[in-house]
Structure 1
Amino acid sequence: MERAYLGSDASFDGVFYTAVKTTGIFCLPSCKARKPFKENVEFFATVKEAIFAGYRPCLRCKPLELHTTPDWIKRVLRAIDTEPGRKFSDQDLRLLGSDSVRVRRYFVKHFGLTFQAYCRGRRLSLALENIRKGSSIDDAVFEAGFNSHSGFRDSFTNTFGHPPGKIDAIDPIQLAWFETPMGPMIAGAVQAGLCLLEFTDRRMLETELKMLRKHFQTVTVPGESPHHVSLRKELEAYFARTLRTFQTKITRFGTPFEERVWEQLDQIPYGTTISYEELAQRLGNPGAVRAVGRANGMNKLGIIVPCHRVIRKSGDLAGYGGGIWRKRLLIDLERGGS
């Protein structure tokens, strides 16, 4: 590790991380910053370990960006968005610099869908949006890449539960994936607003999706709604520290107590934190600390509804679905830390 670090060997990026005791910063092995004395360096296997040890990510080599979608998948996703009606063959994927088996494994692992199911859902979601905007069904069939009206109608009905002529009864949860400096996030939206925003590695994510499908009595499909367009811009501004309050329209549901907790979360100012005890007191129920913690954990709109701003009375961090290390980074980001 010492040889790799001193030689700025990029082949070890992601294998381990180097932390500098004198600056409190951790880096990729390939970082070109000036090398400190050996006794001031320690190594960590993961980003999480480095952050728990009190180190902050380097602004030069940006070690957190290793956790974003790889370039070869980005090319595939751009191609799908550019030509949503196209049926991609193994040869098409090879021309994009990707192996078909690798692509299929990635989609199942990270999106919970096969590659073909993702493409089909994306095409049908786009067709639904175009019909809503006034396109004819004939145009939608062509733009979605279907060879016949009957094939399109059957696939559309099987996915949404209604034929194309009854779009007023259709309101799927459209899912889009976002890159952030702290890892990829998934956002779900219905026509009423954004209903989900989570880091993709949250353990409860599949449970949350089931809850959303049950509540809205609908299906989930890949897609990009106007709410996603708004959110994408706002997330970029938030992580650039130029936005403090989100304006993207949201819709949420919970028990009356959960709703009260979330309303209080909305009132916590940017860059500040409160304790679970204080949150319970604000609700007029000082003994409900554990219930407050559970309601915090049921929040499905991470960052926007800022449950990360609630900490223990001692000042320690606890209870964040995206990982405590991310909670620490979000608090640090809002407080202006580097």
Structure 2
Amino acid sequence: MTDTPVEPVDTAHETVCAWTVRDTPVGPLLLAATGEGLVNVVFHAREDTVDRALARLAGRLGTDPRPAAGTPEPPAALTAATEELARYFDGVPGPFTVPLDWSLTGGFHARVLRELASSVPYGTTVGYQDLARRVGEPGAARAVGVAMGANPLPVVVPCHRVLESSGAIGGFGGGLETKRTLLSLEGVLPEPLF
């Protein structure tokens, strides 16, 4: 019997993904990052939600996300995102500068989300229709709504800042109370009375 040589594993092209859960005023958030940047933010990150989100990430990225605490050196974007979100929830206005990994979105959705991230700053809002016009698709207001619902990076890519043309708050994947809280934090809506 001869020994069959074992081929070395090529880890140079392996996607490393690390994650953490942080408590925030809108509940626990799951943050996941790759070497390229922040890749996913998930609301209501309790155990069952985290398990489902990590399974989806593993399927989409082709690698099992690892807890940041168990990773020798978590991606820098994970640390940056944690720090920037802490400042955000402390009420410090300003743009997010953490690098983003856009690999969980593409096509029209990516165009809309990139436009939103780059042109709708803290404390401002935009309508679905206006955002559709900005990406060159004036008849696509509903498709913009679908892109907001599929946003893999909520809060950082601020889909909570997108409102109906009437000024109504519209929908939100994280729940309307979460959207109200985020808009109140940014001074767009008055603080709740109780």
Shared fold (TM-score greater than 0.5)?
yes
On the 8 A contact 1:280/1:289 being kept in 2, the answer is: yes
Work out which of the residue numbers 79, 86, 94 in structure 2 matches 1:229. 79
Residue identity over aligned pairs, in percent, reads 35
Name the structure where helix makes up a greater proportion of residues. 1
List, as ranges, runs of 4+ consecutive aligned residues in structure 1 with deviation greater than 4 Å: 201-211
Q: Sort the Cα spacing of 1:208 and 1:278 in 2 relative to 1 into closer, same or farther, 3 A.
A: farther
Which residue pairs with 2:63 in the alignment?
218
Quote the offset at 1:185 in angstroms: 0.4
Which residue pairs with 2:4 in the alignment?
none
Whole-angstrom distance in 1 between the partners of 2:18 and 2:102: 15
Work out which of the residue numbers 25, 34, 42 in structure 2 matches 1:181. 25
Quote the offset at 1:200 in angstroms: 2.7
Q: Supply the AA of the counterpart residue of 1:216.
A: L
Residue 327 (str. 1) matches residue 179 (str. 2): yes
Whole-angstrom distance in 1 between the partners of 2:13 and 2:114: 30
Which residue pairs with 1:257 in the alignment?
108
Q: Which has the higher contact order (CA 8 A, sep 6+)?
A: 2
Aligned length: 176
Whole-angstrom distance in 1 between the partners of 2:54 and 2:166: 34
Quote the offset at 1:271 in angstroms: 0.6
Residue 242 (str. 1) matches residue 114 (str. 2): no
Structure 1 residue ranges without an equivalent (≥5): 1-161
Q: Supply the AA of the counterpart residue of 1:261.
A: V
Whole-angstrom distance in 1 between the partners of 2:13 and 2:110: 27
User: How much is the aligned-residue C-alpha RMSD, in angstroms?
Assistant: 2.6
For normalisation by structure 2, the TM-score amounts to 0.79
Whole-angstrom distance in 1 between the partners of 2:22 and 2:49: 18
On the 8 A contact 2:30/2:45 being kept in 1, the answer is: no
Whole-angstrom distance in 2 between the partners of 1:286 and 1:318: 19
Structure 2 residue ranges without an equivalent (≥5): 1-6
Whole-angstrom distance in 2 between the partners of 1:262 and 1:204: 23
Equivalence map 1:1-338=2 (5 Å): 167-201=11-45, 209-224=54-69, 225=74, 226-253=76-103, 254-266=105-117, 267-335=119-187, 337-338=190-191
On the 8 A contact 1:201/1:322 being kept in 2, the answer is: no
**Larger Rg: 1 or 2?**
1
